[in-house]
Structure 1
């Protein structure tokens, strides 16, 4: 179970303690499949509280496929949390220091074994890892906080182990627990179109710049600094930033400097191309591409939902001479043809897209009788998690309360975390007071 703990260090008045655990790959069939994963957590507590018997708060990162943050200071949501909790930052399995999934680590497996292995890295097993760690710490109950995909994990935790939870705080992460994945992407494309319209209305030169870049990619072979061919489809993916506070502004300033003059000819500059590469998170975090659609699947296959649904929105299928429109967080099969580090995983990705026996992630009967205080910040203009679906889900969960706001984008917790978590804690206390 516990492999080892590392010596503590101290930063900005906070004690940082690392723990490594050896846990089953497959909790449902550990006897016949005795493979294991290493799971890493970082435990944080204010130095002056080190000897106090404080409750724990576990943070579930957004994604899927990204490790917990490495905080450099006692600030934001963490500052508020450390006032009353010991905080556990969990590197979800497959990320960070928890048996990380990269092309390097699994390319030795054949595609069938890759797909089988990767199928154990969804929210249900992430939650089972957390539950095993709770038992190791001999904690009766702890609170959880989930951002984005971390909120999906929170609802899975509420479904599987509600008796282990003091409270659940969720930010931008209340999914539909019953809708088909195609419904999700229809809603997402509509939101993304709205964000495009806002962007091009706000920045008068943006359309001209985007169309010039698209034409350059269609007329010439352009490579990114890693040698990868840069395509219009990849350029369109940069619209993911529209869902984040500050994202549209950053993208526009990059567009302004995209071209440089080389011997009297305009071509895309290295600085812009390097920026594009830095935004392709799928290259370093392949779980983000491989399992992104699977997080919506319960006894059904995704069959590349975003790719199929896109045909209903021809604005995104760029043709030369038409105004370019950005896509967003969607995952497409061409990723595994174009993105260098994903190419060796193409066959496994195809197998997972056809997988139809995914187990349930949510127990609707358990959620319908929930008694754990659930306080959720739901963002009205969220580009990634459909607001109407979030409201629909919360209506079916007793002891839940939503803070519905248009003040923040999807990354509200990063922008104003101290206020957001403080509000959610107060909401959860109100729920408990009237139970």
Structure 2
């Protein structure tokens, strides 16, 4: 991979072994810096990545450096090798494994791909200050969703610790986890207790062999890390649940940011008609397509139905997760958009009322198992469906749908 700028390695005393591994891999130039000079080196050299030997770092030094790096554009990866404590939100952990640095190189390359993607988006947004400001204000961790798998004693406390930082989807078995991976946008996996090494090995092997999941952050909370898996963001974080969640967050945050940037590019390619947070249409694009779909249906015949998925206003994450699920699962002929009232509207083309109810129930059932925000209960949307009548306009159809929703809520 071509690289813009050097890689800075920060350590307190002698040069760490992983710096020599970077030299051998010809990811050059590699520049050494001590903690006193690290901030100046980042400001002057415009590096492509920063790696710190954090076992010998004092917390104030790492926190200050991480804050400087977080404010840098485009995205500047910060990797903390052998972290001794909780990490800043943007410091990606890496635990060395027997002097084998192949995983470190793979993790660095994955992070540099995110940097390149961010630079591409920034370049295309040049001349559009509002869109650039919206991107800068985006918090990837706020929108991230982690899949927590386990059935051991640490599962409840991990669920709480992770849920304080991001959305959580729970699975008590690997079979249930596989279903979630196939139907949801997942930004990371935390594998808790309750599985034998053989079962874990089979699961990790499947993830490594599937290109869709190969770059997912995968955090093991127990056991020894085997370096053979082709999973650049696989990490063992074996400690108390709160620290597991804190150190898993930077990896998951980076993946959520990468996914968001990908949706941003799709939105730009679609002329700004797509919402980069959900992947659905923007409200204005939805309204225009809705009017056109009704006009064409009334002129040429056929069916058209609309479903409204109303989420609990007290769970703002619910609408986001629901919108992403709908974007991923609804048919190609259908379209939808998130609304200002916290609901999501989906138009089912060429669909009668009975079929629309069936589709809406299936979509709703997928949304039941996500918790949203800090220790909030799971939220299932209230679903109402209306179908187009010969006398309808877009306004009257939506009014009838809203009235059905009011009756359903009573």
TM-score range, shorter chain: under 0.3
TM-score normalized by the length of structure 1: 0.25
TM-score normalized by the length of structure 2: 0.26
Between 1 and 2, higher relative CO (CA 8 Å, sep ≥ 6) is seen in 1
In terms of Rg, which structure is larger? 2
